[in-house]
Amino acid sequence: MSDLAAGMEQVLGDGSRVLTQPQMVERLSKDFYWYSPVLKAMLDNKRADVVVQPVNVEEIRAVLQYCHAHEVPVTVRGAGTGNYGQAIPLNGGVVLDLQRMDKIEAIGEDGVAVCEPGVRLGVLETSAREVGWELRCYPSTVAKASLGGFLGGGSGGVGSVKHGGLRDFETVRAIEVVTMESEPRVVKHEGQAVHEILHAWGTNGVITRIWFALAPAVAWSQVVLTFKSFDEAFNFSERIATDATWDKRLITVFEWPLPSYFGPVKQLVREGEASVFFLIADAQMDTLREVADEAGAAVMLAQPYAGLRSQPLLSDYTWNHTTLWAMKADPTYTYLQCGFSPERAREQFALLKSRYGEDFLLHIEWMKNGQGVMIPGAIPVVRFSTEERLNEMIDYCREIGVFVANPHVNHVEGGGRYREDNVQLQAKYKYDAKGLMNPGKMASFARRQALEEQPA
Ligand SMILES: Cc1cc2nc3c(=O)[nH]c(=O)nc-3n(C[C@H](O)[C@H](O)[C@H](O)COP(=O)(O)OP(=O)(O)OC[C@H]3O[C@@H](n4cnc5c(N)ncnc54)[C@H](O)[C@@H]3O)c2cc1C
């Protein structure tokens, strides 16, 4: 047994939660990084030395105290569904796997859930709906993903068309984090201070407790429409997205042939046609059918939503699950994460299609931004040939005014959700001055550290 594993056993006093078996360590060191051919090549051979599974805050503090004293890197893991290689340790050390800290402590009458970080979002959504609430937004990986991982590495998803992303509208009310210091502290962040920790990829502390605002539960329906052309589908989706009288949780538009990749729901698509998937208030389903009919759409599905057990569950084909289905069908596909301009979207689509044709397939996810503006967000599926061509696509998108959060880089800053005010970096200086938390993932810190370490 390595000194590190022995040290961890001593710290936890329980060897069964210190994992060293190579296949287990390999599995728990990896996430969905292989979504990106660039990250796949970069991260394939990275793994931890040992995985530790704490069950409470005191154990986390003890692990961090040991690692601080012995200069051991620590990478926090929720469920490992991130797709930027966020949870993959670049320098070995400890993976701190929080799956055993999965309690929902309370769902208050004010609609705020208090949770441990390892709680699965699907469990929280189902529990919340039982008492009249639901998640404001969640990733399409809801069944598996953890709340701590969503805050650490996610941004939004189903529900963002109504409630914006994770960073918006005070959805995250407060967070407690454990610091990486000689005497690790538990620090509570409330209000604006939560932004120091949100989407920092576990580089500046371990989230151990979350106050998460929910929304009143709505009876939803799932609806699938198909249209002869992408333009018609987009026009219709825009009409519903931008009209506040429609109560909606999901509006997704797919260019053909993307729907052809959705094997289990093939009966919901039509050869050559574009599709729109909705979660819409059940009370508005019939009206939606009527306006869809007038707009020349075919209604392929219209049924009440029965929670995450619904069959089919449309969210399984939306957000980044769309990419998964496409990659299953054709491994040369990968993806980008974009935001089109509400005013120029049609012109931007035309420019991209004329330049890349079938190599750039449009997949739109409508979402509200922090200012309440409805944005045609997008996760286009793109053909990968070389990294240079992928970068050229990203450059071209930016040139024509399309925002890109580049999912083919492995640091917080490059991913496009970095905050200009640098509060995440400031928090890293406060809580992890030695740079032991997920080292290498906050590029601005790594650069400063390298400069300081250079001989005078
Ligand atoms: C098919 C597919 C679809 C997806 N769809 C979406 C989507 O719609 N929206 C979206 O936002 N994301 C999406 N993702 C990305 C990812 O699934 C989500 O962001 C998810 O919420 C991550 O949760 P996790 O528990 O798996 O986190 P992990 O992958 O385990 O961790 C993510 C990051 O957070 C850090 N972290 C984890 N726990 C903590 C903690 N307690 N304290 C501090 N840092 C922590 C990790 O170190 C890592 O950097 C998708 C991914 C896939 C593969």
Strands 248-254, 363-368: pairing is antiparallel
Taking alpha carbons only, the member of 6, 1, 7, 149 closest to residue 67 is: 7
Residue 418 confidence (pLDDT) above 70: no
CA of 56 to the centre of ligand 1 (A): 21
Pocket mutation for ligand 1, best pick of 39, 90, 137, 141 (most atoms within 8 Å of C-beta): 141
- Relative to the CA of 321, which ligand 1 atom is closest? 1
Q: Which amino acid is at 83?
A: N
Question: Tens digits of per-residue pLDDT, 399-414?
Answer: 999 999 999 999 998 8
Cα 125 from Cα 118, distance rounded (Å): 14
- Does the CA dihedral 389-391-397-401 come out positive or negative? negative
- Relative to the CA of 82, which ligand 1 atom is closest? 29
Question: Tens digits of per-residue pLDDT, 81-111?
Answer: 999 999 999 999 999 999 999 999 999 999 9
Q: Which amino acid is at 71?
A: E
Query: Is the beta carbon of 73 within 6 A of some atom in ligand 1?
Result: no
Query: Is the beta carbon of 122 within 6 A of some atom in ligand 1?
Result: no
Would you say residue 167 lies in a domain? no
The confidence score (pLDDT) of residue 109 equals 95
Would you say residue 4 lies in a domain? no
pLDDT band (50, 70, 90) for residue 417: low
Q: What is the DSSP letter of 260?
A: G
The mean pLDDT value for 298-308 works out to: 96
Stated length of the chain = 456
DSSP string, 138-170: B-TTTTT-BHHHHHHH----BTHHHH--TTSTT
CA of 366 to the centre of ligand 1 (A): 20
In degrees, rounded to 5, the angle at the alpha carbon of residue 405 between the alpha carbons of residues 191 and 144 is 70
Bridge partners of residue 303, in order along the sequence: 222
Tokens describing residue 236? 């219709």
Query: Is the beta carbon of 439 within 6 A of some atom in ligand 1?
Result: no
Query: Is the beta carbon of 31 within 6 A of some atom in ligand 1?
Result: yes
Cα 345 from Cα 104, distance rounded (Å): 41
Would you say residue 288 lies in a domain? yes
- Relative to the CA of 155, which ligand 1 atom is closest? 11
The confidence score (pLDDT) of residue 321 equals 97
CA of 300 to the centre of ligand 1 (A): 32
Cα 157 from Cα 137, distance rounded (Å): 6
Query: Is the beta carbon of 149 within 6 A of some atom in ligand 1?
Result: yes
CA of 167 to the centre of ligand 1 (A): 14
Q: What is the DSSP letter of 347?
A: H
Would you say residue 38 lies in a domain? no
Pocket mutation for ligand 1, best pick of 36, 59, 178, 320 (most atoms within 8 Å of C-beta): 320
Tokens describing residue 347? 């012109």
> What's the mean per-residue pLDDT of the chain?
95
CA of 201 to the centre of ligand 1 (A): 9
Strands 274-281, 363-368: pairing is unpaired
Q: What is the pTM of this model?
A: 0.96
Contact 383, 358 (CB under 8 A): yes
Residue 456 confidence (pLDDT) above 80: no
Contact 159, 320 (CB under 8 A): no
The confidence score (pLDDT) of residue 162 equals 98
CA of 85 to the centre of ligand 1 (A): 10
Would you say residue 195 lies in a domain? no
Cα 203 from Cα 442, distance rounded (Å): 7
Q: What is the CATH number of the domain that holds 328?
A: 3.40.462.40
The confidence score (pLDDT) of residue 26 equals 98
Range list of H helices, 330-382: 345-356
Query: Is the beta carbon of 432 within 6 A of some atom in ligand 1?
Result: no
Cα 363 from Cα 385, distance rounded (Å): 20
Question: Tens digits of per-residue pLDDT, 208-229?
Answer: 999 999 999 999 999 999 999 9
Range of the domain at 383: 220-405
Rounded to an integer, what is the distance from CA 345 to the centroid of its chain? 24
**133 burial via Cβ count (<10 Å: 0-12, 13-18, 19+):** buried
Pocket mutation for ligand 1, best pick of 56, 76, 189 (most atoms within 8 Å of C-beta): 76
Residue 365 confidence (pLDDT) above 60: yes
Pocket mutation for ligand 1, best pick of 77, 88, 136, 323 (most atoms within 8 Å of C-beta): 77
Domain count of the fold of the chain: 1
Residue owning tokens 């018609």 = 232
Bridge partners of residue 365, in order along the sequence: 252, 377
Cα 426 from Cα 321, distance rounded (Å): 34
Long-range CB contacts (< 8 A, 24+ apart) of 385-394? 385/332, 387/37, 387/38, 390/38, 390/334, 393/336, 393/356, 393/360, 394/336
Question: Tens digits of per-residue pLDDT, 5-25?
Answer: 999 999 999 889 999 999 999
Cα 48 from Cα 52, distance rounded (Å): 10
The confidence score (pLDDT) of residue 15 equals 87
Taking alpha carbons only, the member of 148, 142, 116 closest to residue 129 is: 142
What order do you get walking across the sheet with 374-378 strand by strand? 298-304, 220-227, 274-281, 248-254, 363-368, 374-378, 337-339, 403-405
CA of 20 to the centre of ligand 1 (A): 24
3-state SS assignment for residue 253: strand
Question: Tens digits of per-residue pLDDT, 165-214?
Answer: 999 999 999 999 999 999 999 999 999 999 999 999 999 999 999 999 99
CA of 198 to the centre of ligand 1 (A): 12
b/e map 225-242, b = 16+ CB within 10 Å:
bbbeebebbbebbbebbe
CA of 299 to the centre of ligand 1 (A): 34
Helix (H) or strand (E) holding 12: helix 3-12
Cα 315 from Cα 44, distance rounded (Å): 29
CA of 84 to the centre of ligand 1 (A): 9
Query: Is the beta carbon of 145 within 6 A of some atom in ligand 1?
Result: yes
CA of 141 to the centre of ligand 1 (A): 9
CA of 250 to the centre of ligand 1 (A): 20
**CA end-to-end span of the chain, whole Å?**
39
Would you say residue 340 lies in a domain? yes
Residue 416 confidence (pLDDT) above 70: no
Query: Is the beta carbon of 377 within 6 A of some atom in ligand 1?
Result: no
Helices 387-399 and 345-356: angle between axes, nearest 10 degrees: 150
- Relative to the CA of 149, which ligand 1 atom is closest? 27
Would you say residue 364 lies in a domain? yes
Would you say residue 376 lies in a domain? yes
Question: Tens digits of per-residue pLDDT, 34-57?
Answer: 999 999 999 999 999 999 999 999
Residue located nearest, by CA, to atom 8 of ligand 1: 139
Residue owning tokens 């990275």 = 46
Question: Tens digits of per-residue pLDDT, 424-448?
Answer: 999 999 999 999 999 999 988 876 7
Contact 168, 136 (CB under 8 A): no
Query: Cα-flanking dihedrals φ and ψ of residue 214, to 5°?
Result: -105, 180
Is residue 312 reached through a cis peptide bond, with omega within 30 degrees of 0 on the bond before it? Answer: yes
Contact 115, 209 (CB under 8 A): yes
